C-alpha cells in the first residue's frame, strides 16, 4: 500500500461520488450526471472535492481509496465554491432546488470545532475494503493535521450510518453532536507527532 498526495490526473472522482452518493446524486438529478460533474471538477482547485486537498491510496499499483481534508474554518468557503462550480454544469431548472436545500443541510450538519482539521470525504474501492486502507488514510490525515498544528480531527457521517459510525469509533473518534434527522459530528484528538517524512514516502 502507498499513500500519497493526489494529482489532478488521478481517476478518483468515482470514489468521491461513492462517499456521498445520495447527496451528489440528488443535487445533480442523477447518478450519471453527478459522476460527470465530479470528474470535471476533481482536477480544478479551490473547492471541497478537489485533488488539491486529497490523499489517495494505491494498492498493487491501483487506486484504492481517497481522503479529502482541510481546515474546518475553510469548510463553508470550499463547499460553497464546489456548489458554484457545479451549478455551471447543472441544468438551470435545478438551481432553485439546490439553493432551497442549503438551509436544511446546514441545520442538519453540526458545526465542527474551528481549530479542527476536517475530513470531508473518505472512500475505499469495494474490491479493496477490509484491507486497512481507510485507517491508513485517516492516519495520514492525522499526520498532516499534526504537521499543521491542528489539535483535533473532525468528520461527519449520517446519524443512521452504522457502518461509518463504527469505523470512526474504532479509529478513536467520539460522537460529540448528533442530529438524529441528519448528521453526527465525530472528533478525535490528534495524538501523533509531526514528522519530517513526506507523505509520498510512507508505506
Confidence of residue 155 (pLDDT cuts 50, 70, 90): very high
pLDDT at residue 95, as a whole number? 66
Residue identified by cell 474504532 is 170
Length in residues, the chain: 203
Listed in sequence order, the residues at least 6 apart from 158 whose beta carbon sits closer than 8 Å to its beta carbon are 164, 182, 183, 184
pLDDT at residue 87, as a whole number? 86
CB of 78 closer than 8 Å to CB of 48: yes
pTM above 0.85, yes or no: yes
Return the CATH number of 2-201, one of 3.40.630.30, 3.30.70.920, 3.40.50.720, 3.90.1640.30. Answer: 3.40.630.30
CB of 153 closer than 8 Å to CB of 187: yes
Q: Which ranges constitute the DSSP H helices of 88-179?
A: 95-108, 133-147, 162-171
Q: Give CA–CA dist 26/9, Å, rounded.
A: 26
Instruction: For residue range 75-126, list pLDDT tens digits in order.
Output: 999 999 998 898 888 877 776 777 767 777 788 899 999 999 999 999 999 9
Reported as half-sphere exposure (CB side, CA atoms, 13 A), residue 113 has a value of 14
Amino acid at each position: 500500500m502507498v499513500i500519497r498526495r493526489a494529482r489532478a490526473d488521478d481517476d478518483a472522482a468515482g470514489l468521491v461520488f461513492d462517499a456521498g452518493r445520495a447527496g451528489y446524486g440528488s443535487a445533480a438529478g442523477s447518478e450519471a450526471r453527478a459522476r460527470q460533474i465530479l470528474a470535471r471538477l476533481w482536477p480544478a482547485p479551490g473547492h471541497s472535492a478537489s485533488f488539491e486537498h486529497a490523499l489517495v491510496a494505491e494498492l498493487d499499483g491501483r487506486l484504492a481509496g481517497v481522503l479529502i481534508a482541510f481546515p474546518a474554518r475553510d469548510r463553508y468557503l470550499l463547499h460553497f465554491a464546489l456548489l458554484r462550480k457545479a451549478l455551471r454544469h447543472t441544468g438551470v431548472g435545478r438551481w432553485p432546488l439546490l439553493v432551497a436545500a442549503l438551509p436544511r443541510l446546514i441545520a442538519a450538519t453540526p458545526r465542527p470545532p474551528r481549530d479542527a482539521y476536517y475530513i470531508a470525504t473518505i472512500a475505499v474501492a469495494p474490491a479493496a475494503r477490509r484491507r486497512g486502507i481507510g485507517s491508513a488514510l485517516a492516519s495520514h490525515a492525522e499526520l498532516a493535521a499534526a504537521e499543521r498544528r491542528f489539535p483535533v480531527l473532525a468528520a461527519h457521517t449520517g446519524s443512521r450510518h452504522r457502518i461509518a459510525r463504527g469505523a470512526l469509533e474504532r479509529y478513536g473518534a467520539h460522537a460529540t453532536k448528533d442530529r438524529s434527522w441528519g448528521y453526527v459530528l465525530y472528533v478525535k484528538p490528534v495524538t501523533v507527532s509531526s514528522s519530517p517524512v513526506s507523505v509520498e514516502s510512507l508505506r
